[in-house]
């Protein structure tokens, strides 16, 4: 059994909508329990409970939100050195494409690395000209199919990696996934 925490900040609901999709994707892998927590209600125990964590934040000035940073600052004394080896990924809602969404993702990823997390990238595409190599990005709320699929797939990949790494479920390794489904835009001769 694997535990996944979707920990997010959101002021106007855009990142929260992404979080719901990431959680849905995570729950699509069997033997996975998912908790979704806004930082206003999340406890350090939620992070300790989790095997995999998806951090969702609004992009603020090209970084994670001040609320998300403050949450980790406040709890770092309790958590740091006790949560090594968890698997992490990130998603963000920015106000615009090019507004620093991927910088905010890297901000989240580097913080998770500081705590000793294993973070991962993806090669997958979720639609034509839409990938989520560093995590999922949405401009505003996730409305486009490709953005919504990126959130779903990111959650699914997180649960899959936890299942492979923690429970030895090798069949969920990306190498065993259908390449044509993952990269439909590449056709038969990539
Ligand atoms: C203080 C602040 C800073 C922001 N900085 C950025 C930014 O650097 N780039 C950007 O694209 N959007 C920026 N935004 C817009 C938010 O990222 C955007 O509205 C987002 O969709 C909000 O997500 P939420 O509804 O989950 O709170 C900023 C918003 C605030 C309040």
Instruction: Name the nearest CA neighbour of 108 among 135, 132, 131.
Output: 135
> pTM for this structure?
0.96
Locate 25 and state its tokens: 């994707």
Query: pLDDT (tens digit, 9 = 90+) per residue, 71-86?
Result: 999 999 999 999 999 9
Q: 24 C-alpha vs ligand 1 centroid, how far in Å? A: 24
- Residue 88 pairs in a beta bridge with 53, 119
Ligand 1 proximity of 138 Cβ (cutoff 6 Å): no
Ligand 1 atom 5, closest CA: 60
The tokens of 56 are what? Answer: 């969702």
Question: Could you tell me which residues come within 8 angstroms of residue 110 by beta carbon, excluding any fewer than 6 positions away?
Answer: none
Per-domain residue ranges for the chain?
A: 2-186
pLDDT tier at 185 (50, 70, 90 boundaries)? low
Q: Are the CB atoms for 94 and 138 separated by under 8 Å?
A: yes
Q: Could you name the CATH architecture of 2-186?
A: 3-Layer(aba) Sandwich (3.40)
In whole angstroms, give the CA distance from residue 166 to residue 75: 25
Strand partners, 89: 54
pLDDT band at 177 (very low <50, low <70, confident <90, very high): confident
For residues 150 and 147, give the distance between their C-alpha atoms in angstroms, rounded to a whole number.
5
What are the phi and psi torsion angles at 31 (to 5°)? 60, 35
Residue 72 CA to ligand 1 center (angstroms) comes to 19
What are the residue ranges of helices labelled H in 41-169? 44-49, 66-79, 101-114, 145-167
* pLDDT above 90 for 121: yes
Q: How confident is the model at residue 190 (pLDDT cuts 50, 70, 90)?
A: very low
């Amino acid at each position: 059994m694997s535990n996944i925490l979707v920990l997010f900040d959101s002021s106007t609901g855009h990142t929260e909508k992404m979080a719901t999709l990431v959680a849905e994707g995570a729950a699509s892998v069997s033997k996975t329990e998912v908790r979704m927590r806004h930082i206003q209600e999340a406890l350090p125990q939620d992070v300790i409970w989790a095997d995999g964590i998806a951090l969702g934040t609004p992009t603020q000035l090209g970084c994670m939100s001040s609320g998300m940073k403050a949450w980790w600052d406040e709890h770092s004394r309790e958590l740091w050195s006790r949560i090594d080896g968890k698997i992490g990924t990130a998603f963000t809602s920015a106000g615009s494409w090019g507004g620093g969404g991927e910088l905010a993702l890297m901000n989240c990823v580097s913080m998770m690395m500081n705590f000793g997390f294993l973070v991962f990238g993806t090669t997958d595409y979720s639609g034509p000209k839409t990938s989520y190599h560093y995590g999922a990005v949405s401009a505003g709320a996730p409305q486009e199919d490709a953005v919504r699929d990126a959130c779903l797939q990111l959650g699914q990949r997180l649960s899959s990696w936890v299942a492979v790494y923690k429970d030895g479920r090798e069949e969920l390794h990306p190498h065993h996934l259908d390449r044509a489904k993952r990269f439909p835009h590449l056709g038969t001769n990539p």
